[in-house]
Every structure is written in structure tokens, then in C-alpha cells.
Structure 1
Amino acid sequence: MADIPFATDLIIIGGGPAGCAAARMSASVGMRSILIEPDQLCRNLYRIPALNNVLGGYTDGPQLADAIVAELKSTELCRLELGRRVTELRADEAHVTVTVGTGARFTAPYAVVATGVGPLQPHDVTWITAPSGLALTPLWEAEADNAEGRTLLVLGGDRPIGTFLRAHPTTETRLLVAYPAADAYKVEEVREDPRVVLFPVEHLTLAPTEGTSVSAETVGQDGSRQTITADAAHLSIGSAPTAPSGDLTRGLDGYCPPTGQHPRVIVAGDLRSSRFQRIMTALGSGSEAALHAYYAARDVLNEPAPS
């Protein structure tokens, strides 16, 4: 396995909003970076149909993603390595080494890890029993044309339900939202939407069905039992961190909190915690991570930042 020589100050793992912000910020202070992403830049952002919590007047994910990608591709101090997946990260006293799927290695004094999260599947949670190997798509990836006039079973009460409803305000669909007690506070924003029917459940069992329709047997939080049928099922049960293996400190929930990491490894974006998974916080944390590496390289982390 040969090292790839490149005079770089920072390796950035992940090309979502946090990773792109880290690359742009590092360039603004004169740092050279390599950004490694297995897919396209801002891949998940392109799939978000509606935004209501970002600055700049952007109303949907593709608008914001296009702006971020265009700016990053014009950033001369950032080298893009797309189509590469990081398989291992190692850190020692002097540098960080990142290995990708081809066996190639990249080395730099610091690394920002912003690999984000991926959707949980039914087999990842204890309150759902599902056929072996079943994989469903998140609700926020559902197309309006496929939802029009149909009844959709939504597993979980995570906030992307509100994103879907705001993105398709005139779509005539019926969402049957089955959610555990832990998601009760999340469904408040969709409770009054006439297209939503809420099913608080203790447990749900997806039954094998013929064709594309779905059926589920539920045990309510009051012990009652009910059968739910729908035209299709989608996920809204949350996400799981997608960190590479190696020298990363993980919590019991699989996330990689910024505190307690190796001094040369800085965690940014959704990978930090499930509590602040928002685009604006990802952009801010990516920028902050790049500045952390910048000041660490100059041994001024404990001094006030220059004005």
C-alpha cells in the first residue's frame, strides 16, 4: 500500500455540509486540505425537499447544495477525492493517516471527521419486528407523485415527517405514523396536520404481504391491539453514526463526541451527537473544526483568536 504524497495541512473525511464548511474555512486561513467523500458532495442535502432553518433564503436542499458545491469546487486550496471510502483512521503524536478502500493512504497533521449518519432500519430498533433483511427508504426521500392519493405507513415520529409535509403542502396523502413513547415530543409539529393519523405504540410487527401493500400489527401504549394497512411503508425512526474504524472514541450510542478524541482528530457535524442534527449546526461545527486545526497547528488553542 503506497502513501499518496500531498503537501496538505488537513484531511477532511466526509463531503456533507460540515465537511464542505471545514474545507472552505481551512482555505480561508491558508490551510491546504484534502476532502475525501465516497459519493457526491452534499449527497443527502440534495434529497431534502424543504428547508426552514437555514440562512440565505434557501427553501430546499438542492438550492443550498448547489451553492455549497459550486463554492467548494472553486476553492483552490482544497483537493477533492470523490468516490473514495475511508476504511481506517489512525493517529499518533505527529500526524493522522487515513486509508481508503483501494489501500491508498493520506497523511496530514490533523483530520476532521464529518461522515455524518445513515438511516436506521427496522431491525435496528427494539420496538419493531420485521421480516429478515427488510430495508425501507426514509420518508423524506419519498416522491410526491408516489404519495399522491396513497396511504403511507411511517415507522417512527422523527422530524423529517414535518419536512415531507412542508415540501408537499398540496399532496393528497394519508400518513399513518406509528411511533414509540420516546418520539412523543417529536410528533407535536405534525399533530394538527389533517393528513396525519398518529398511532402511539409499544410494539409493531410488520407482516409479510402480497404485492406492494403493507400490513402491521400494533400493540398500543395502553395495551390495545390493532391492524394497520397501507399502500407502502417508509422510515422516520432516526439515524445511526457512520464513522470509519480506527482511532475514534465512540460513546455507548455509537456517536463520536468531540471531547475525548485524539488531539489530532476533530469531529464535526451530525457525527457528534443526535441532539443537534441540523444543517446550520453542521455548517458551524465544520467551520469551527477547521479553525481548531488551524490554531492547534500554531499552538495557540488556549489563546484568544486573532481579530
Structure 2
Amino acid sequence: MLDADLKTQLQAYLTRLQQPIELVASLDDSETARELEALLQDIASMSDKIGYRRSDDDARKPSFAIVRVGTDIDVRFAGVPLGHEFTSLVLALLQVGGHPPKIEAALAEQVRGLEGKFQFETYMSLHCQSCPETVQALNLMSVLNPNITHVAIDGALFQDEVQAREIMSVPTIFLNGELFDAGRMSVEQVVAKLDTGAAARATEQIANKDAFDVLVVGGGPAGAAAAIYAARKGIRTGVAAERFGGQVLDTMAIENFVSMSYTEGPKLAVALEQHVRDYEVDVMNLQRAAKLVPAQTPGGLVEVQLESGASLKARSVIVSTGARWRQMNVPGEDQYRNKGVAYCPHCDGPLFKGKRVAVVGGGNSGVEAAIDLAGIVAHVTLIEFDGKLRADEVLQRKLRSLPNVDVVVSGQTTQVLGDGSKVTGLRYTDRNSGQSHAIELDGIFVQIGLLPNTEWLKGAVELSPRGEIVIDDRGATSVPGVFAAGDATTVPYKQIVIAVGAGSTAALSAFDHLIRTSVPTEELAEEAA
């Protein structure tokens, strides 16, 4: 089942098992069940601490549990966790087997302290780069707290459940049979939603923090680079991020990051955060900026107010809040988001197997999405506002070669149609003739570019007509002591490697600013109070 290289790697990991575990399978007569049994037997053969047996007592088949022998601790998968979920499988084996997880002690205690019964089910796709973080978070929580159980379900394999529960995006999480959330979630996010007092405690902790020398707002590639470069100068550095990794978390394949021929967004995001945590950086996750208040005196403190109600102060601030998917802003889009309107073809495409979908957008992202989806769905209609596609010619040639793809140019999407619970179609206007058309569809994938996350800065710093932060070649904004980097700025070419360089530039500029505008400590203390 596993190739020689994977077996060698897995066998090396399994030497870390500290306690015996058992793989307990529930199988049927399907080919997938035979693949799963072969995989489990392969794994069991690699360590004398792993046993294997069939029980066939789970209603979902094929599925299996990883059980710590003699305890109630287990992790469950419904399906064959390969593809993006292979890492989830490896971590589950190790964690159930007693290998200590990488999680902050305070957060682990929060998980252990959760009271009540929590039965989680996560519907995921093996092609989804966003799903593993959610699966791994809930698996880890089920290992730490016996009151928590979790099963990760391959939505492409259990289509009856997907349709019955009207699941149209992954990951989708159910708790005790009711919808809990949809989208990527970390352990911190799950705990914050379960522990209603967690947010208040975090707000109180933030309110009591001393002023930073450099405060980085945003945890994408630009923010991570800025934090590392600032921390290496030996100055007090903090990072406030809504989610560490930013848009990188939603990126599938990365093949142009210099020094590595290939990686994937979530892997790079983990590496970025780990590198930042190698230094004495105060990382504050799940924090969204609401307002920036410039320093009131030369060299004074800049304030960043957070949506939680807390605020942070710093002698200099680096804004790296990145960008988000641009929305169509048409009737029905908000109503049917995650109910047929999607933004990640890699994640959600398998849920539309054999169905009809549309892709809105004719740039590289849109054409790549249409090509990928054409191999899964019954039919793809690509709709482009412009009079011609804007994607690279090599991509257009590939698109034109596909028999189940139609292309509409000069098409303005005007409405998402639905039946109240899910998407049923799309309406667009031919910009040449003015005629309106309706297409019957099961899903719509929006690929029309990005918007900078800068609404919170309006009136505080100079923004371009597109909402980007105006910066000079040193990353300086219109406000003294405030610098910016990455996709939220006017820097051309929104690329990861460019964001990393821009973040480094901003940090060096912030350090230079601190040297040139030093203020006596007692004055800063009075201002921060």
C-alpha cells in the first residue's frame, strides 16, 4: 500500500511510540476497504508496539480507530487517510502512542479542563490543504481529553452523508450531531469557541502587556520575516495575527520559493511560525486589528486597537495584514457561501463529483481552477467579465482541449440562484448584447483576485485607490513609526518571496527609526499608562 520511501519514513517515526496502540478496523467488501486493510497491516508490521484487528462494529465502513491499549483514548478515520491527510495519520499514531504533542502547556491545560461530552465529526477531502489543520487539532484534543471524541470522514467516500447533511465545503465540523463550524480551525480556535471565557482572559492578558519596540500586525510571510528580523536585533517584538500563515494557508502548490523546488502552503505556514517562535517573540493569535492610532508625539507610542476590545502599544508598528479572496458582491453570494459558493477548488472540488459547476474569473487562478475541476465534475462553465481570458496562453490551450468546459467571455455575473438551502444556478448578463442568461449549477467557484485587508486603516494612513497601503522603498507609510509590507501594500507583484523580502526591509527600517527617535524610558512609560 505504501511505497518504499514512505515506509522508511513512517518506520522511523514509529520508533517514537511510547505506549502500545491497536488499529481496529471496520471493513466491508469494497476495494477501498481492501486498500485500507493493506495500509493498516503495513503499519502494524512496522512496530511491535502496534497491533491490528477487525471489529466491523462501526456503522461507517471502511473506517478504523487508533486505540491506546487499555484506555479510552482513540482517534478515528472514516476512509483511507492518504494524500494531504497522511500527516494527520502519522501524528495520530504518535500522539495516541504517547509521543508528546507540540502544543503550548497553557493551551493543553485548557483542553484538558473542558467539561462535558464533545463528539466531533469532521468532513474533509484528501485533496484539501486546509483540512489537515482542523483534523489534527481535533485529533489532538481527543487525545488530551477523554471527554472529546473525533472522527475524520472522507467526504468523497461517504457521499450519502455529505448529501444528507448538505455539506458543500470542507472542512465542515459537527459537534454532537449539530453543525459546529466550517473552514480551517486550530486548537486555539476550537477551544475559544468551546470555552466562552477564553476570549475575555486573552483580552485581559493583552491589556496588561508592556509596550513593544516593534509590533507586527499580521502573521503571513511578510509578518513572519519582519518579526524574525526585528527579534534578531534584540528588541522587544510582538506579533498580533488573526491566523498565522495568512493567505499561504490557502495556497496549494508552491514551486517558485527560492531554495525549495516544491512545498505546500500549510507546510510553509507551519515553518514560518516555528521560525518566529525560535526567537523571543510574543505571538498573539486570534487577534484582529480594528484601528490604528498614530503616536501623539514624535517618537511616542503607536496604538493598535483590537476587535476584542484590548489594545497594544509600540514604538513602531509593521502592518502586514495581507489580502483575502475578492467576492462578487452579487445577490445570493453571502446566503449560499459554503452552500455551493466556494473559493477553493482544491478543497471543495471533490464534493461536486459528477455535478455541474461554474468558475467565475478568467485569470490564471480561474483557468487553473476550471482545469482541475474538469477532471472531477461533469461540466464546468467559466465566466470572464473581460472580452477575453487573461490567463497564460499555455493554460488557455489546456482549457480549450477539455471537452466538458464551456467558456463565456464578456459575462457579468449578476446573481447566485438557490432554493433556500443550496445553490441551484447562476445568472449573468452578456455585456455585449445586454441579454440575461441563467445556468443551472450545483456549485460556483469564485476566482477573481484579492482585496487588501486594510479597512481598519482608513483615515489613519494613506491608502491607494485600490485600498493598498502606500509605502516607499523602505516600507515606510505616511505615518511616522508605522511601516508596512506584503500583499496589503502598493508593492508590485504579490508573491510570497517578495513579501518575505518586504517584511525584512520593513523590520530593518523600523529598527533604524527606533535608533533615530529614541525617547527616554520614563516618558514612554507615562504614555503607555
Smaller-chain TM-score bracket: 0.7 to 0.9
Output the CA distance in 1 between the equivalents of 2:226 and 2:333: 39
Aligned partner (choices 342, 347, 363) of residue 142 of structure 1: 347
User: What are the within-5 Å matches in structure 2 for residues 116-127 of structure 1?
Assistant: 116-123=322-329
TM-score, normalising length from structure 1?
Answer: 0.82
The match for 2:513 is 296
Tell me the C-alpha RMSD between the 2 structures: 3.0
Q: Percent identical across equivalent pairs?
A: 22
Give a deviation string over 1:204-249, Cα, whole Å, max 9, x none: 3335233645323333354274443322001111222212246222
Contact map agreement 1:49 1:163 (CA 8 A) in 2: no
What number of residue pairs does the alignment pair up? 292
In the alignment, is residue 264 of structure 1 matched against residue 481 of structure 2? Answer: yes
Provide structure 1 residue ranges, at least 5 long, that are not aligned to the other structure: 124-128, 301-307
In the alignment, is residue 80 of structure 1 matched against residue 294 of structure 2? Answer: no
Q: The residue matched to 2:293 in structure 1 has which SS?
A: strand
Give the Å deviation of 1:90: 1.2
Output the CA distance in 2 between the equivalents of 1:163 and 1:69: 29
Aligned partner (choices 179, 184, 187) of residue 384 of structure 2: 179
Aligned partner (choices 493, 507, 520) of residue 276 of structure 1: 493
Output the CA distance in 1 between the equivalents of 2:516 and 2:416: 59
Give a deviation string over 1:44-92, Cα, whole Å, max 9, x none: 322222223212233321221122122122222x110112222111112
Output the CA distance in 2 between the equivalents of 1:183 and 1:286: 36
C-alpha spacing 1:119/1:274, structure 2 compared with 1 (3 Å): farther
In the alignment, is residue 252 of structure 1 matched against residue 427 of structure 2? Answer: no
In the alignment, is residue 236 of structure 1 matched against residue 447 of structure 2? Answer: yes
Contact map agreement 2:453 2:488 (CA 8 A) in 1: yes
Aligned amino acid, residue 464 of structure 2: G
The match for 1:48 is 251
Contact map agreement 1:49 1:140 (CA 8 A) in 2: no
TM-score, normalising length from structure 2?
Answer: 0.50
Output the CA distance in 2 between the equivalents of 1:52 and 1:46: 15
Q: The residue matched to 1:181 in structure 2 has which SS?
A: coil
Contact map agreement 2:368 2:395 (CA 8 A) in 1: no
C-alpha spacing 1:137/1:274, structure 2 compared with 1 (3 Å): farther
C-alpha spacing 1:182/1:238, structure 2 compared with 1 (3 Å): farther
Output the CA distance in 2 between the equivalents of 1:152 and 1:233: 6
Give the Å deviation of 1:252: 1.8
Give the Å deviation of 1:112: 0.4
Give the helix-richer structure, 1 or 2: 2
The match for 1:154 is 359
Give the Å deviation of 1:169: 9.0
The match for 2:397 is 192
Provide structure 2 residue ranges, at least 5 long, that are not aligned to the other structure: 1-203, 518-529
Q: The residue matched to 1:192 in structure 2 has which SS?
A: helix
In the alignment, is residue 13 of structure 1 matched against residue 217 of structure 2? Answer: yes
Output the CA distance in 1 between the equivalents of 2:233 and 2:515: 12
Output the CA distance in 2 between the equivalents of 1:203 and 1:178: 8
Output the CA distance in 1 between the equivalents of 2:412 and 2:374: 32
Give the Å deviation of 1:131: 3.1
The match for 1:214 is 424
Aligned amino acid, residue 229 of structure 1: E
The match for 2:413 is 204
Stretch deviating more after TM superposition (6-15 or 181-190): 181-190
Output the CA distance in 2 between the equivalents of 1:191 and 1:143: 23
Aligned partner (choices 218, 223, 229) of residue 433 of structure 2: 223
Output the CA distance in 2 between the equivalents of 1:203 and 1:164: 19
Q: The residue matched to 2:487 in structure 1 has which SS?
A: helix
Which is greater in Rg? 2
In the alignment, is residue 112 of structure 1 matched against residue 318 of structure 2? Answer: yes
Aligned amino acid, residue 109 of structure 1: R
Output the CA distance in 1 between the equivalents of 2:209 and 2:311: 9
